[in-house]
Structure 1
Amino acid sequence: MRTSNMFVRSLGVHVPESVSVEHAVREGWYPAEEAERYRQLGAAVAGDMPAPEMARLAVLDAYDRWDESAPRDLDLLLYPSVWHQGPNGWQPQHYLQQHLLGGHVPAFEIRSGCVGMISSLELAAGYLRADDARETAMVVSADNHGTPLVDRWRMTPGALIGDAAAAMILGKEYGMAELLSVNVAVIPEADAVNDGAYPLFPPDATVGRGLSFSDRHEEFRQKLLEKQGTGIHLTIQKTMMQQVEQTLDEAGIELGDITRVAFPHGRREDLDGQMSWLGIEEDQTTWDYGRRVGHCGAVDQFIAFEHLLATGGLKAGDHLLMVGFGSGTSVAAAAFRVLSPRPVTKETRA
């Protein structure tokens, strides 16, 4: 979707301190041979801080940077999430309404896996464009995976699981970056990649079954061997390329115009494949940052965006391409043009 007249007002994050791989090896949490093989450096660990509280801090960070408006001025709040947020039957967006927003701002939790932040940009942009009176929308996500059902050091071979939050304020007319285009596609036939042939009922969490993508992916691999291959991985690759090509075409730019590409903070072997598909080099990606904080649910590309702006990795005139993958399976892409490394006001717009 070409997102004309759609801008990033501000971007806020909350990224806890990382626990190093060296420490994890010493404690016996992470095998030393995997540390050497997979080249991960650490994972951000939030301790006992609830995910919605991390989200609240990210929202406050976004508004502190912008310093022109207040959370209660929003027209829409979208809260993508991946892992459990709080009590059963409770929704995290209402926590933000109570402690930040007040009033009757429409607020929804989005459950689209690790593409949740990117897919929510498409929803938020469409919502704002539908009514001239609507000015700003917030997309915020947070996850704390430090629960008994997740082993962040071994859940996914080759990747570490981190905790973090990110909040992006979208608005019309001006901002620190322009959202040029965003697209999301679902590949329903790839659902089996992550379900592990587990029963749908009762849900895993209600019977204390832990989350292990290692087991699920091995189950799927066995299915592939039985069927002599389904070609599903090729389908995922082709769909990703289609999303990237459509997004760049709508944005009016080419891959050569892209300064940096933000992928999920996953396995190095996955990144190698993704770089090969797009024909880019490692220094164009966010690998060096991602392997220090781990895969943090739906916020990877957004905390990397903030890191690039803060460290000079992106400057005015540069373009950022986000590429996302979510279990289900879904693929997403978004293109941004940076106008300023810091938020601007209406009077001092870039």
Structure 2
Amino acid sequence: MRFGEGLTIEAAVTWLPEETESAYALVAEGVLDADAPAAAGVVEVPVSTSLAPPEMAVRAGRAALARSGTDPADIAVLLHAWIYHQGHDFWSPAHYVADGVGAWAAEPFGIQQMCHAGAMALHTAAVRLTADRAARAALVTTADRFTGGGFDRWHGDYHVAYGDGATAAVLGRSGRGLRLIAQSVYAAPDMESMYRGDDPFSTAPLAHSRPIDIRRTKKAFLAAGGMDRFAKTGPEAVRAVLLSALDDAGLDPRDARIRCVALPRLGPKTVELMYLPVVGELLSAEPLRLGARTGHLGCGDVLANLADITEQEILAPGEFALLLTGGGGFTWSCLVVQRPESR
């Protein structure tokens, strides 16, 4: 989908707790195998020992609003995305975030789509602003904390380490930020059982295992022949969203103005199997892998990548960036942004 002209990412922010866990220190302590840091593609991950995810989201949201100069009263819609426990069992974290940032006139709601939820929240916000010219701005937040007895950030999944933190992005029409050009989305719901396995439906959280054991459900998916199908579907989906987004943006894959392709903050094996072959075949742009000191931020990878691209001034005026991501279920997307010719 190509979004309306003049839609911009006014600001994108990553908020991380100060405390970290070093992958190599955990190897020295015998907690991790020697090859675990390289398999996850991380040096360390941020760890929140005090703040719950919605509290971190409020901090990220406030920072994004301040950086963009946006009045919270102008936020028409606030979308909060997450993949893991937000601190309460029967509650709306999106409303907490809206209250915390002062967006009292906003319509708050949550987005649930596993690790693609942040990208889907961005897409939903952009669609709203494209369709509703009276809506001045939107705020997207993501936040997760993978601590406690319910989730093992290092051993719960294959080839990935999960980092705590929050991200936020303000969408508006000032023209001062990155231009939000297009985003293509592709879903393969027949892959949903990768994170369900052959477990029966339970009546309460964490009934099947504590902590959550993603490896168990993936083993069941493998035994049922799912991984062979996924190995084919994944790259096909990445190709489809990449080419569709470029077409919507009016760009040739080899356009020299495409400066970089930001990849999900996953381990090298996943990235090299699913994303890099397609990127290398179709594009001459540089692949960006930005998660060595964050790990996988749940559904926050895309917004964190937007924040890094902006803060590091990776794009020259007129250049484009592509941002690829995916999430269990399964859904993939490609986002196209451009730094304006002049600011």
Fold conserved (TM > 0.5)? Answer: yes
Residue 209 of structure 1 pairs with residue 210 of structure 2 = yes
**SS of the counterpart of 2:291?**
helix
Kindly state the Cα deviation for residue 14 of structure 1 after the two structures are TM-superposed.
0.2
CA 1:94–1:36: 2 relative to 1, 3 Å: closer
Kindly state the Cα deviation for residue 2 of structure 1 after the two structures are TM-superposed.
0.5
* Alignment of structure 1 residues 73-112 onto 2, 5 Å: 73-112=74-113
Contact 1:121 1:182 in 2 (8 A): no
CA 1:37–1:194: 2 relative to 1, 3 Å: closer
Contact 1:275 1:282 in 2 (8 A): no
Residue 236 of structure 1 pairs with residue 237 of structure 2 = no
**Aligned partner (choices 47, 58, 61) of residue 60 of structure 2:** 58
Partner residue, 1:155: 156
Aligned equivalents of 2:280, 2:103: Cα separation in 1 = 47
Amino acid at match of 1:239: A
**SS of the counterpart of 2:61?**
helix
More deviation in 140-149 or 275-284?
275-284
Aligned equivalents of 2:285, 2:153: Cα separation in 1 = 26
RMSD of aligned alpha carbons: 2.3
More deviation in 87-96 or 15-24?
15-24
Amino acid at match of 1:269: K
Contact 2:3 2:180 in 1 (8 A): yes
**Aligned partner (choices 21, 24, 40) of residue 23 of structure 2:** 21
Kindly state the Cα deviation for residue 283 of structure 1 after the two structures are TM-superposed.
8.8
CA 1:87–1:207: 2 relative to 1, 3 Å: farther
Q: Deviations over 1:168-225 (max 9, x none)?
A: 1111252311111012222111112221212222244356632222222222111118
Q: Deviations over 1:51-97 (max 9, x none)?
A: 01110111111122223x22222111011111111211111111122
CA 1:99–1:30: 2 relative to 1, 3 Å: same
Amino acid at match of 1:3: F
Aligned equivalents of 2:73, 2:251: Cα separation in 1 = 36
Identical aligned pairs, as a percentage?
A: 24
Aligned equivalents of 1:330, 1:232: Cα separation in 2 = 12
CA 1:233–1:97: 2 relative to 1, 3 Å: same
Count of residues in correspondence between the two structures: 337
Point out 4+ residue stretches in structure 1 off by more than 6 angstroms.
280-283
TM-score by length of 1: 0.89
Amino acid at match of 1:28: G
Partner residue, 1:245: 243
Amino acid at match of 1:58: A
Structure 2: 5+ residue runs without aligned partners? none
Kindly state the Cα deviation for residue 111 of structure 1 after the two structures are TM-superposed.
0.4
Kindly state the Cα deviation for residue 329 of structure 1 after the two structures are TM-superposed.
0.9
Amino acid at match of 1:170: L
CA 1:294–1:230: 2 relative to 1, 3 Å: closer
Aligned equivalents of 2:224, 2:66: Cα separation in 1 = 50
* Alignment of structure 1 residues 182-221 onto 2, 5 Å: 182-205=183-206, 209-221=210-222
Aligned equivalents of 2:287, 2:182: Cα separation in 1 = 19
Aligned equivalents of 1:95, 1:158: Cα separation in 2 = 33
**SS of the counterpart of 2:183?**
strand
Structure 1: 5+ residue runs without aligned partners? 341-348
**SS of the counterpart of 2:269?**
helix
Aligned equivalents of 2:309, 2:121: Cα separation in 1 = 22
Residue 267 of structure 1 pairs with residue 267 of structure 2 = yes
Aligned equivalents of 2:48, 2:316: Cα separation in 1 = 30
**SS of the counterpart of 1:32?**
coil
Partner residue, 1:30: 32
CA 1:36–1:104: 2 relative to 1, 3 Å: closer
**SS of the counterpart of 2:215?**
helix
Partner residue, 2:42: 40
* Alignment of structure 1 residues 281-300 onto 2, 5 Å: 284-287=286-289, 289-300=290-301
CA 1:249–1:130: 2 relative to 1, 3 Å: same
**SS of the counterpart of 2:298?**
coil
Aligned equivalents of 1:212, 1:283: Cα separation in 2 = 37
Q: Deviations over 1:290-311 (max 9, x none)?
A: 1221001111122122223323
CA 1:134–1:312: 2 relative to 1, 3 Å: closer
Aligned equivalents of 1:254, 1:148: Cα separation in 2 = 48
